[in-house]
A and B are shown apart, each in its own frame.
Chain A
C-alpha cells in the first residue's frame, strides 16, 4: 500500500491531534502529517511540501477554510489532491458551498474515526 502525506488545517491544535489520530485509526499509511492553523499557513506549507490528502476546518481566523480552498484551486496548488472539510457548520448550504469551492467530501464535528475512514478512504488511491 502506498504511503501518503496529509495536511491537517485547523486553528485548534487539539482538533489537529484528534484528526490525525482518526486517520491513523482508519488505517491510513501516513508517511508524514503536516499541520497548519489557518488557510494562510496551509498555502505556505503547500508551496514547499507535496501531500496526497488535505483535511481542513472552515471556521478559522486570518483565512477561513472556504477561502483557503478557493485559493488552493485558483492557484492550482495541489490540483489533484482531495480536500475534506471537517467542521461544525453542517447545513446543506455550507456543504454545497464547500463542494462548489472544490472540496470532495465533508465531515461534521463531532465525528468518529469510522466516519473519517468512510469519507477519506474512497478518495485515495492506495493500491
Chain B
C-alpha cells in the first residue's frame, strides 16, 4: 500500500530540503550561496513578501520576505542591471525566486513533486504587516544570508492528504 504524502513528508528532512532548495536557486540564478542564519529581516522598514500558493496533495504557501535593499540586490543579480526603486521588475524577480524555491522544495519530496501545484506569484509590499493562514498543519520558518543580506523563507502547510 502506498504511503500517504503526509507520512512521507513528515519522515523526510523537509527543513534540510528547504535549505538545499534555497541554496540551489540562489547559486544558479544569482551566483551566490544562500546559507541558514539566526538573524531576522529588520522590522520597521519596508519589506517585500512574495507568496506562492500550493494546492493539491498539500495546500498552503511558500513565502519569501526581505527588505528593500535585499530585493534590489536580488533583482540586480538576476538581470544584470541595478534597479533604482521597487518597480515591477523587482517584484517580478522576487516572485520568481519564491516560485523556484517552492518548486525546488516540493520537487525534493516524492509525495509532492507531481501532486502539488504552484500558483503564480503574488507580491506584497509595505511595513509592519502579517500574513495569516486559516489553519496550519505545520510550518517551516528559515532565515538565510545572501551576500550580506537576510532573506526569510517559510513553508506554511494548511492541510496535507
Contacts and interface: CB of A to CB of B under 8 A. Distances in A.
A110 B28 contact: yes
A18 interface: yes
Contacts of A87: 103
Nearest to A58: B118
A110 B96 CA distance: 10
A101 interface: no
Interface residue tally of chain B, by bracket?
Answer: 20 to 34
Contact of A18 (B79, B99, B102, B118): B79
SS of A interface (majority): loop
Interface string A106-123: 001111100000000000
Interface string B39-76: 00000000000000000000000000000000000010
Contacts of B119: 59
Interface stretch (A28-36, A41-49, A70-78, A89-97): A89-97
Contact of A94 (B29, B89, B114): B114
A-B pairs, 4 with minimum CB distance: A88-B103, A91-B114, A91-B113, A110-B28
Interface of B: 24-25, 28-29, 75, 78-80, 88-89, 92-93, 95-96, 99-100, 102-104, 107, 113-114, 117-120
Interface of A: 11-15, 17-18, 21, 59-61, 87-94, 108-112
